[in-house]
Structure 1
Amino acid sequence: MRPDKQTGLGRPVHRNPASRRWRGASTARAIFSVFAAAALVPLAVASEATAADKTISRPNIVIVLADDLGYGDVQAYNPQSRIPTPHLNALANSGLTFLDAHTPSAVCTPTRYGLLTGRYCWRTRLKRGVLNGYGEPLIERDRMTIADFLTDAGYVCGVVGKWHLGLGFVRDESGTIDYGRRITDGPAEHGFAYSYIIPASLDFPPYVFIQNNRVTTLPTLRQKAQKFPRFVRQGPRAPDFRFEDCLDRLTDQAVGFIQRQARSGKPFFLYFALTAPHKPVWPHPRFRGRTALGPYADFVVQVDATVGRVLEALQAAGATDQTLVIFTSDNGSYMYRLSAGARDHVDDPTVQGYRPEHHRANGPLRGTKADIWEGGHRVPFIVRWPGHVTAGERTDATICLTDVFATVADILQRPLPDGAAPDGFSFRSVLQGRPSEFHRPPVIHHSVAGMFAIRDGRWKLVLGNGSGGREKPRGQPFTRPYPLFDMQTDLAETRDLSEQHKDIVERLESLCERIRQADGTRTVFPGRNTVRGPSNTPDR
Structure 2
Amino acid sequence: MPRLHPTIILFFILFTLVLRAQKKPNVVVVLVDDLGLGDVSYYRKAHSDTIIVETPAIDALAKNGAVFTNAHAPAALCAPSRYAIMTGNHCYRSDAPWGVWGSYEKSPIKENQLTLSKLMKQAGYQTAFFGKWHIGGDFLKKDDPNTIYRGPRNKPELDVDIKKIVGGGPRYRGFDYALSFQAGIQDVPYAVYEDNDMMPLAKDSKITYISQTKMDKIGVKLDKAEGLGDSNWNPHDMGPLLVKKAMDYIDANAHKDRPFFMYYSALAVHLPHTPTDELNGIKIAGTTPSKHLDLVKELDVQIQILIDTLKKQGIYDDTIIMLTSDNGGLLRKNTLKSGHRPSDIYRGGKNQAYEGGNRVPFIVSWNNHFKHQINESPVLGLDIMATLAELNHIEISADQALDSSSLLPLLENETEDLDRVIYTQSVTGKEVMLIKDGFKLILQVDKSDKSNHTQTPIALFNLNDNPGELEAHNLITNAQYQPKIKELATLYHATRKSGRPTASRFVNN
Q: Fold match, TM over 0.5?
A: yes
Q: Distance in 2 between matches of 1:529 and 1:301?
A: 36
Q: Using the TM superposition, name which of 508-517 and 219-228 deviates more.
A: 219-228
State the partner residue of 1:52: 20
Matched, 1:304 2:304: no
Q: Is this contact kept in 2: 1:465–1:483, CA < 8 A? A: no
- Other-structure match for 1:313: 309
**1:94-173 residue pairs with structure 2 within 5 A?**
94-173=64-143
Q: Which residue of 1 aligns with 2:468?
A: 492
1:361 aligns with 2:342: yes
Shift in CA distance, 266/465, structure 1 to aligned 2, threshold 3 Å: closer
Give the match's secondary structure for 2:339. coil
User: Does the alignment pair 1:377 with 2:377?
Assistant: no
Measured against aligned partners, the alpha-carbon deviations of 1:11-42 in whole angstroms (never above 9, x if no partner) come to: xxxxxxxxxxxxxxxxxxxxxxxxxxxxxxxx
CA shift in 2, pair 1:182/1:372, >3 Å:
closer
2:339 is aligned with what amino acid? H
Task: Give the partner amino acid of 1:358.
Answer: G
1:230 and 1:173, CA in 2 relative to 1: closer, same or farther beyond 3 A? closer
Q: Which amino acid aligns with 2:30?
A: V
Q: Counterpart of 1:372 in 2: which secondary structure?
A: coil
Residue 479 (structure 1) shift: 5.5
Shift of 1:229: 7.6
- In structure 2, give the amino acid aligned to 1:497: L
Pick the aligned partner of 2:275 from 267, 283, 289: 283
Structure 1 contact 160–273 (Cα < 8 Å) conserved: yes
- Give 1:109 deviation, angstroms: 1.0
Aligned residue runs from structure 1 range 101-500, under 5 A: 101-173=71-143, 175=149, 176-217=159-200, 220-225=207-212, 230-232=221-223, 233-286=225-278, 287-291=284-288, 293-336=289-332, 344-345=333-334, 354-355=336-337, 358-391=339-372, 393-436=373-416, 438-440=418-420, 442-449=421-428, 450-464=430-444, 480-494=456-470, 495-498=473-476, 499=478, 500=480
Q: In the TM superposition, what is the alpha-carbon distance from 1:405 to its structure 2 partner? A: 0.2
CA distance in 2, matches of 1:130, 1:318: 40
Letter aligned with residue 78 of structure 1: R
- Residue 402 (structure 1) shift: 1.2
Aligned-pair CA distance for 1:358: 1.8
Gaps spanning 5+ residues in structure 1: where? 1-46, 337-343, 346-352, 469-475, 534-540
CA shift for structure 1 position 129: 4.6
- Report the Cα distance in structure 2 between the residues aligned to 1:64 and 1:185, rounded to whole angstroms: 21
Q: Name 2:36's counterpart in structure 1.
A: 70
CA contact (8 A) 2:101 2:134 kept: yes
Residues 289-344 of structure 1 show CA distances to partners (whole Å, capped at 9, x for unaligned) of: 212x11111111001101111111111111111111001111112225xxxxxxx4
The answer (yes or no) to whether the contact 2:180–2:194 under 8 Å persists in 1 is: yes
Shift of 1:460: 1.0
Q: 1:480: how far off?
A: 4.1
2:506 to 510, 521, 530: 530
> Quick one: structure 1 residues 130 and 358, their matched pair in 2 at CA, closer, same or farther if it must change by over 3 Å?
farther
Cα distance, 1:130 vs. partner? 4.2
Quote how far apart the aligned CAs of 1:518 are.
2.8
* Native 8 Å contact 1:425 1:531 kept in 2: yes
Contact 1:429 1:437 in 2 (8 A): no
Deviation string, structure 1 residues 426-446 (Cα, Å, up to 9, x no partner): 111110123435322x12111
Please report how far the alpha carbon of residue 387 of structure 1 lies from its aligned counterpart in structure 2 after TM superposition: 2.4
Equivalent positions of 1:501-516 (< 5 A) are: 501-516=481-496
Structure 1-normalised TM-score?
A: 0.80
Aligned to 1:517: 497
Which whole-Å CA distance do the structure 1 matches of 2:350 and 2:496 have between them? Answer: 23
The amino acid across from 2:38 in the alignment is G
| Paired residue total | 455
Report the alpha carbon displacement of residue 48 of structure 1 after superposing the two structures with TM.
Answer: 11
CA distance in 2, matches of 1:375, 1:130: 22
Give secondary structure in 1 for the equivalent of 2:248. Answer: helix
Secondary structure, in 3 states, of the residue corresponding to 1:313?
helix
Equivalence map 1:85-96=2 (5 Å): 85-96=55-66
Give the C-alpha shift of residue 209 in structure 1.
0.7
| Separation of aligned partners in 2, 1:464 and 1:409 | 34
Give the Å deviation of 1:201. Answer: 3.0
Unaligned runs of 5+ in 2: 1-14, 150-158, 279-283
Deviation at 1:181, TM superposition (A): 4.2
When you count helix as a share of all residues, which structure comes out higher? Answer: 2
